[in-house]
Amino acid sequence: MPWCRVPRAQRQGNTVPHVPMNREDWAHLVGGIVEVRLNGTLIRVGRVIQATADSSMLWTEADAVEQRTLYSKACGYEVRPRYALGGVGRY
């Protein structure tokens, strides 16, 4: 069983409606803005700074509120693109 942290949004019970857009190939999301979800609950919105070649894990960039964070598919996280590189256009 992989190590998985319980996200702040899940601990607080915040939920956001499910958007039926998922992208399994995380390696192609580097530089883009994504939604990170766990069990349909929005955990975080952030820029992807690194992803493994096999798309099993990715890092989101640190911002004013959150630290740089590693997310893993093995822990049940889903990642959905919001904006393409530089925020221009959509996936």
Assign residue 27 the CATH number of its domain.
Answer: 2.30.30
Cα-Cα-Cα-Cα torsion 53, 47, 10, 70, nearest 10 degrees, comes to 40
Q: Is residue 3 part of a domain?
A: no
Question: For residue 48, what are the β-bridge partners?
Answer: 60
- Give exposure, 8-37, as e/b (b: 16+ Cβ within 10 Å): ebeeeeeeeeeeeeeeeebeebeebbbbbb
Q: Is residue 78 part of a domain?
A: yes
Q: Is residue 80 part of a domain?
A: yes
Q: What is the chain's pLDDT, residue by residue, as a tens digit (91 residues)? A: 455 655 555 544 444 444 444 467 898 899 999 999 999 999 999 999 999 999 999 999 998 888 999 999 999 999 999 865 554 444 4
The answer, as to whether pTM is greater than 0.75, is no
Q: How many domains does the chain have?
A: 1
